């Protein structure tokens, strides 16, 4: 069922969104300073590529309290817009019964796109 859900997801915009996140990640990685941000956009792109069966978990990374200011900067410079778009599409998809599983995936991506530092995406194939 995960494979069928992901294939339908890809057909109706998931693949395009993942390519957009990957392209943004490559563009941001061109600057040395942007590499940490590029890793986060790549993480969101992975979730956008394979949302069904994937999990977003908190990490116990040694970065400590640095993730709080990084997430604050992330929210200021684009994370809020990504969160708003995923929440909007999640609400729109919840209108129909068929769209509820896809709306859940958008809410999962919204949670990650609001504060990606300190979280990890576990892909379960």
CA distances to 57, 91, 102 from 5, rounded to whole Å, are 21, 18, 8
Q: Do residues 56 and 107 make contact, with C-beta atoms less than 8 angstroms apart?
A: no
CA distances to 6, 34, 37, 67, 90 from 51, rounded to whole Å, are 7, 25, 21, 24, 13
pLDDT grade for 16, boundaries at 50, 70 and 90? very high
Q: Which residue has the higher pLDDT, 82 or 1?
A: 82
Note the pLDDT tens digit of each residue in 77-92.
889 999 999 999 999 9
The secondary structure element, H or E, covering residue 121 is strand 119-122
The predicted pLDDT at position 124 comes to: 85
Average pLDDT (58-64) is 73
Beta-bridge partner residues of 122: 55
Q: Do residues 54 and 121 make contact, with C-beta atoms less than 8 angstroms apart?
A: yes
Q: Model-level pTM?
A: 0.87
């Amino acid at each position: 069922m995960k494979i069928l859900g992901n294939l339908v997801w890809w057909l109706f915009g998931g693949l395009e969104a993942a390519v957009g996140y990957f392209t943004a990640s490559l563009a941001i990685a061109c600057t040395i300073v942007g590499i940490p941000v590029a890793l986060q956009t790549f993480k969101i792109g992975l979730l956008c590529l394979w949302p069904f069966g994937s999990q977003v978990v908190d990490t116990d990374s040694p970065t400590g309290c640095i993730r709080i200011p990084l997430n604050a900067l992330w929210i200021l410079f684009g994370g809020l817009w990504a969160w708003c778009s995923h929440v909007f599409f999640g609400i729109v998809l919840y209108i129909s019964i068929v769209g509820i599983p896809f709306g859940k995936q958008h809410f999962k991506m919204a949670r990650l796109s609001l504060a990606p530092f300190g979280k990890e995406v576990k892909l379960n194939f």
